Amino acid sequence: MEEVKLPVHITRSKESEDLPLPSYATEGSSGMDVVAAESCVIQPGEWKAVSTGLFMEIPKGYECQVRPRSGLALREGVTVLNAPGTIDSDYRGEVKVLLINHGKTSFKIARGDRIAQLVFAKVERAELHLKEKLTATARGSGGFGSTGK
């Protein structure tokens, strides 16, 4: 059976035309690696919106999730602050990656470094219905940790 791919239109800034477009590293990758369009340094405890130079037209009913790269998180303590970040289908501005440095040393980003992953996902829209009382369950209102260790 042939794989169906979601068509996503993109454009990029003149300054980032020499950079690679987001791409899947392997056949089984869920996320496309995206690179920085700028060089910068993020100090420990600081965060920065890092430019990618990309603009997207995501089909209605979908979102693009901006997720951390596991290697950066493991080796450097650097992750996406609002993980996963969401790029809505009606957003047309530049895609930026909000990175935070949880590490102990400065994190240097060179232009062209892989900084995050982009995962496209279907979005279901909810319709809320106000109700006097919700249906009872065994768990009830038990919150964090209420189902055991």
pLDDT per residue as tens digits for the range 95-136: 999 999 999 999 999 999 999 999 999 999 999 999 999 999
In the predicted model, what is the mean pLDDT of residues 38-43? 98
Nearest to 82 by CA among 41, 48, 111, 35: 48
Dmax (CA) for the chain in angstroms is 58
pTM over 0.75? The answer is: yes
In the predicted model, what is the mean pLDDT of residues 21-45? 97
Q: Tell me if the domain spanning 50-124 has CATH number 3.40.1180.10.
A: no
Report the alpha-carbon distance of residue 48 to residue 40 in Å, rounded: 9
Question: What mean pLDDT is reported for the chain?
Answer: 95
At residue 7, what is the residue type? P
Query: Euclidean distance between the first and final Cα of the chain, in Å?
Result: 42
What pLDDT was estimated at residue 126? Answer: 95
What pLDDT was estimated at residue 121? Answer: 97
Cis peptide before 84 (omega within 30 of 0): yes
Domain boundaries, the chain: 50-124
